[in-house]
Each structure stands twice: as C-alpha cells, then as structure tokens.
C-alpha cells in the first residue's frame, strides 16, 4: 500500500507540502495542473515545474488526478478528436516525468455532486452531504450556486467555464443515453489506451459520484457490472479503475469488500473513505473509522492486504475539524486522521499474517 495525499498546488490549497510531510508514511502527492481547462494540452514545461517542486519536498509524483475529459468527448460532438489528440499528448508528456497512473472520470456535466458543503454532524464537525430527495426537485442552477459559493478555491469538476455552459450542456445531453455515453467512452478509450500502453501509464477511471442518475443525466460507472463492461471494451491493464469506496459505496447495492477482492488487481489507485447512508438514500461523509459509516473500511483494507496490494492509496474526502478553514472535503486534519487509521489497519493485518 503506497500512501498518497491529494494536493491542489502552491497557490490553490490551504494545505502545504510541509504540512503533509508531517503525516507518517505519506510517500507521494496526487497532483494535477488545476489551472488547465478540460481539453487543454498540458505542456512539458508546466508539468516539469510542478513535478520538480513536489519532488523537492521528498514526495513521488506517480499519480495525477485528474486530466479532465472535455464535454465534446463525452457527447461525441464538435472538436472531440482535437481534444483527444491533446489528451494523448498530455499522457506522453506526463510519462516523461515518471507519472504511472492517471485518474479521470466520464461523468456528464457534473463531477461529484453534493447538496451541502458543510453539513453539521453530531460530533460538531461538518462534512459534505448529499440529500437525495432534494436533488429530485432541485434546479441544477441552484446546485451550481451552492457549490460555487462554498469556497474561493477551485473545486474539481466544477470549473467555471463548464458551469457557464450548463443550460447548453443539459440541452446537448438530451440526445445522450447510457448506451450513447458508453459508445463515446469506447471511442475515447480506443484512442488513448494504445498511447498509455506505449508509455507505461495506467488510465484509472473513477466511478460516478453518486453511482446513479441525477437530473436525468446518464451514469455508467456505477458498480461491478460496469467494471466488466469496461474490461470487455479493452482488456489491457492500461484500461484500469480507480477504486473509490465512498463513491461506488454510496449505493447500498455495491458490496465494496467484494469489489475490492475481485478488482484490486485492476485498480492501481484507491480512494478510501466512509459515508453514512440514510434509509432514503441520502448520505453524509464521515470519518474513515468503520463504525462511523456504512462502508466496511476494515474489510476493504483487509481485502487489499490479503492481495499484497502495492497500488497507490489516498484518504478521500474528510470532515472539517477544529475550526479549519479549507476547501470543502479537503482539509488537513481529518484526512491525516484517516491515513493513521489506514496505517493502523494495515499494520494490524500484517502482524496477524506474520509480518507479511
């Protein structure tokens, strides 16, 4: 298990690399060029500058999250071939500095979706929250307003240039159902996977968050069946998954321990976090501690340990603790606590198995 920590850059994060260095056993930084718009080429110079800075603090730069996919690619329209060409060259440029995994997603319009950025929890902390009933009656424009007003920092998947086109995009997606979205993903993978194979990068698709349709938009990376469909598109290990316990696990239909047991070999990157799911399907993000949520974090880590998982792991969204002012879900304190819980579980399982 190679522990990493997501970081948004020198001028775009309340957390510094010097803070992260103080968390035991963090080996790498999960990074990106967050100033780049979806579809834009990442140049060698920009990549090298960021990579050099991260490595100067003693971290590896093996994992990038995310090289965002332009909506034209998901829609199968317009300049998709131009944006795919940019994507292919970006993969090559990232490989030159030693990147080994690129996490991306194929969610229409919205990336992760929450209705409350600072939902109060019983312990006095706040966390990201998804109100399923509210979403069923919510104007998407109101959701954009809620998210955009939550922080002055960038929020991945909620780029202003994309949100400015929201009415136009909803109109365009009226012509795209699940099958069409799968077809467009296949077109994209057919183009990029040979490049990824050539340069030794594994493309790790992130599950939809939440893993079911919202606002009538298609969602396709939702559970084990979608993983099988992806494998059938291209069996290469360059066509891989980001295992995310909180995203896929937000549907009680998904047994995340069983999914970890079956697909760890094809998941070079794992996001481990917990959510508490209500009877109506709403969910709040909680601490990583197993008993605080609905996800069997202990079982997931054991499944990874039993397979001698050597992939990259990061604590995912954390609560907002002790008055910390930070990007929603991405403070320092609770993610550091999450790492220590994961470290402790891994050490305990190692002790049980004779130090292996």
Catalytically active residues are 206, 244, 271, 316-317, 330
**Look-up: residue for tokens 């060259």?**
89
**Helix H segments across the chain?**
17-20, 44-56, 71-75, 80-96, 132-136, 140-148, 160-163, 166-172, 178-199, 224-233, 245-248, 256-263, 297-306, 333-352
Could you give the CA distance from residue 161 to residue 167 in angstroms, rounded to a whole number?
A: 12
Cβ atoms of 25 and 339 within 8 Å: the answer is yes
Contact residues for 185 (Cβ-Cβ < 8 A; gap 6+)? 74, 106, 220, 233
Residue 327 burial (CB count, 10 A) = 20
Six token digits for residue 6? 């997501």
Q: What Å distances lie between residue 86 and 90, 144, 193, 245, CA to CA?
A: 6, 28, 14, 31
Rg of the Cα trace of the chain? 19
CB of 134 within 8 A of CB of 115?
yes
Q: State both tokens at 249.
A: 């696990």
Report the C-alpha gap between 257 and 245 in whole angstroms. Answer: 9
3-class SS of residue 80: helix
Q: Is 42:94 a contact under the CB 8 Å cutoff?
A: yes
> Which token pair is 33?
């060029």
Rounded alpha-carbon distances, angstroms, from residue 336 to 6, 23, 28, 318: 11, 6, 14, 9
């Amino acid at each position: 298990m190679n522990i990493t920590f997501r970081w948004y850059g020198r001028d775009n994060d309340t957390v510094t690399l010097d803070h992260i260095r103080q968390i035991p056993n963090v080996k790498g930084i999960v990074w990106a060029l967050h100033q780049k718009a979806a579809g834009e080429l990442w140049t060698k110079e920009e990549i090298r500058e960021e990579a050099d800075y991260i490595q100067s603090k003693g971290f590896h730069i093996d994992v990038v999250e995310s090289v965002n996919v332009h909506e034209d690619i998901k829609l199968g329209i317009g300049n998709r071939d131009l944006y795919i060409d940019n994507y292919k060259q970006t993969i090559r440029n990232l490989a030159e500095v030693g990147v080994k995994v690129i996490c991306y997603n194929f969610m229409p319009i919205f990336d992760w979706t929450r209705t409350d950025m600072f939902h109060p929890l019983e312990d006095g902390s706040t966390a990201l929250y998804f109100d399923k009933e509210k979403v069923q009656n919510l104007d998407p424009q109101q959701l954009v307003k809620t998210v955009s007003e939550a922080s002055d920092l960038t929020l991945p998947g909620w780029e202003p240039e994309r949100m400015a086109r929201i009415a136009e995009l909803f109109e365009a997606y009226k012509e795209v159902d699940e099958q069409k979205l799968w077809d467009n993903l296949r077109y994209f993978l057919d183009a990029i996977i040979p490049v990824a194979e050539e340069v030794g990068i594994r493309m790790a698709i992130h599950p939809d968050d939440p893993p079911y349709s919202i606002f009538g938009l298609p969602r396709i990376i939702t559970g084990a069946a979608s993983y099988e469909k992806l494998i059938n598109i291209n069996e290469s290990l360059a066509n891989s998954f980001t295992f995310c316990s909180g995203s896929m696990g937000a549907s009680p239909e998904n047994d995340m321990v069983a999914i970890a047991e079956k697909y760890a070999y094809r998941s070079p990157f794992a996001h481990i976090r917990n959510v508490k799911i209500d009877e109506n399907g709403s969910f709040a993000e909680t601490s990583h501690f197993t008993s605080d949520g609905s996800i069997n974090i202990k079982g997931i880590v054991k499944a990874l340990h039993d397979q001698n998982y050597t992939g990259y792991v990061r604590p995912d969204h954390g609560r907002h603790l002790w008055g910390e002012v930070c990007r929603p879900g991405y403070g320092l304190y609770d993610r550091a606590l999450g790492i220590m819980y994961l470290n402790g579980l891994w050490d305990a399982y190692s002790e049980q198995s004779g130090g292996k």
